[in-house]
Chains A and B, each alone.
Chain A
Amino acid sequence: MEDAAPFALMLMPIFYMVILAVVIFPHWKMFQRAGYSGALSLLLILPIINIIVLFWFGFSDWPALRGRRGGM
């Protein structure tokens, strides 16, 4: 019973990494499909930067939407 707390503490970083990967993956995919580098999604890990990146992503001109038929 005394080992329970340290064991949980040891697992914390692993849980954190798993949750991070689960959250980063869809953003990576979205950045890629928008025409940006998926690695931009790694910035979402940083506390204040993530809001800035999200807003920039939402309001920027996506390269993929500039398309081959022009327009947009």
Chain B
Amino acid sequence: MRPEDAAGAIGAVGGLLAGGIVVVLLIFLVMAILPVIAYWKIFAKTGNSGAIALLMLIPLVNLIVLYWMALGDWPALRQAGVAPGGYPPPAPYPPQPGYQPQAYPPPPPPSQFQPDMSKFQSPQSHFQPPAPPPQFAPPPAYPPPPPRVAPPAAAAMFCGNCGAKLPAGSQFCTSCGGRLG
């Protein structure tokens, strides 16, 4: 083997090695950064700083951060009105004889802020009592309807073609269409 051939081979192997290292580094980078993005989102959702997720890159610190996040305070839960310990477990069904429902932790003490409510009283002059309900009067007594009288016989006529009964003064039969009269 000539010296220049050996140098070329060494260069090729070196290039391959460097390329492989770059690829592996890239994969590691992606595999490290993707969880950090997810944890950033999760930690931010608990109401803590999302930047805490950057600590997940450090080998043993990440465990400590995980436990701290899992067991620590979640301000977002307090804001949503959920007790600090989360929901109590649901009652067993069917009801068990020895079951004692787990009580919620006591609510936080009310804030010291006491607004002067007299400033917010609405003026009474604007208040109008609701109108009394309308009194229902009995319906007026209608005169009894006149007794039905049979229409006079002259008011009806019959078709000369088919014999159908027609109102008086009809020009055509409504039954057979024949001209009348």
Contacts and interface: CB of A to CB of B under 8 A. Distances in A.
A23 B46 CA distance: 19
Q: How large is the interface on B (under 10, 10 to 19, 20 to 34, 35 or more residues)?
A: 20 to 34
B105 to A, nearest CB: 14
B80 A72 contact: yes
Nearest to B67: A26
A20 to B, nearest CB: 12
Interface string A4-39: 000000000000000000110111011011110000
Which applies to chain A's interface (DSSP): helix, strand, loop or mixed?
helix
A41 B121 CA distance: 53
B42 A64 contact: no
Contacts of A69: 80-81
Nearest to A65: B80
Contacts of A55: 34, 37-38, 41
A33 B48 CA distance: 14
Interface string B67-82: 1011100101101111
A67 B82 contact: yes
B81 A67 contact: yes
A58 B39 contact: yes
B52 interface: no
Contacts of A23: 63, 66
A58 B45 contact: yes
B178 interface: no
B79 A27 contact: no
A23 B45 CA distance: 20
